[in-house]
Amino acid sequence: MSSDTNINLIGKNLQELEELCEKNNFPKFHGMQLFKWLYNKTNTSIKDMTNIPEKLKTVISHNYNINLIKVEQKFYSKEDDTIKYLFKTKDKRLIESVSMIDDSRHTLCISSQIGCSVDCSFCSTGKMGIIRNLDTGEIIEQIISIKHNRKKPITNIVFMGMGEPFLNYNNVIKACEILTSPAGFNLSTKRITISTSGILPKIERYINEKQKYKLAISLNASNNTMRNQLIPINKKWPIEDILNTIKKYQFNKYKPIMFEYVLINGINDSSNNAKELASLLKGIPCKINIIPYNTINNDYKRSKNIEIFINTLNKYKSNFRVLIRKNKGQDINAACGQLATNNE
């Protein structure tokens, strides 16, 4: 038997679990059994896995990590059915995830990194800098932990928590594959949204691989001058390059691309900005998700021009839909752009 001390069990896909069994001289089919226990039954207690041989349980217990994160604190919103979770990792780092329930919809906002290197000027996480990527298992365990904590079945997962998902591309896509596997969480691909600030090489890879999860681009500006100020990586990958790449994306009515636009007072919220945005996105079947800015103790303020901006967009719209995001969990700093582990 081989020793793989400090290798994470959670986060391994089916092929890796089958290889783990064979490497330790157990039949391959136990890999599927482990996969179902971990991701379908979301059972992370090895001793409770009734159809796994005792010898294999011993090997796993001695050589593999299972519980990679633990709940450090929970914050309950008084305004809506939102809970923010503060998790601590094995290396004593902190990450945040958010559970939002709205009628029959239960959405988890999941983190993909500890901190973030993109440094968007309106986002609290960016102020932390980057500490490290999350392992696939740490991504999955956020979901398992919240699933055990809340009775409402999880319906949607958005990678819009801490970090830039496309700078942790492999682990995020691997987590999504586990989440959508029929033997795993069995979520539909259209129930998962990955949001990126515009990491162009990874957007191209995502399109070339024909990934089926919903894609959201955090645009937040109607011209490059403004976007350079809000999202510094725009100097490397400007708006027109992103939009030219997006036009290669296979759109359909179930998975239209989403452009997120955080409205900041006096910065990107004028009627002229709305006209520019409508012109930019002309000919791209998409949704525009308008997000009222959430304060993070800096010079920016929430737009006072939201209604005029949306009305102007609707006036000039071609083949896009305009939505406005409900801000949930603002009172516990759980809303869009507010996630940052102050303890770091």
Instruction: Summarize the chain as % helix, strand, coil (round to 5).
Output: 35, 20, 40
Tokens 């000027």 map to which residue?
A: 121
112 and 172 in contact (C-beta within 8 Å)?
yes
Catalytic residue among 96, 138, 141, 260: 96
Residue 30 CB partners (closer than 8 Å, separation 6+): 21, 52, 53, 56
Active site residue 176: no
Give the pairing of strands 214-218 and 82-89: unpaired
Q: Rounded to whole angstroms, how far apart are CA atoms 244 and 302? A: 30
Count other Cβ atoms within 10 Å, centred on residue 17: 22
176 and 165 in contact (C-beta within 8 Å)?
no
Residue 42 CB partners (closer than 8 Å, separation 6+): 144, 147, 148, 185
Q: Rounded to whole angstroms, how far apart are CA atoms 119 and 130? A: 9
Catalytic residue among 21, 123, 176, 336: 336
Q: Rounded to whole angstroms, how far apart are CA atoms 126 and 301? A: 17
Label residue 25 left, alpha or beta by phi (over 0 means left) and psi (-120 to 50 means alpha).
left
156 and 106 in contact (C-beta within 8 Å)?
yes
Active site residue 204: no
Write out the catalytic residue numbers: 96, 336
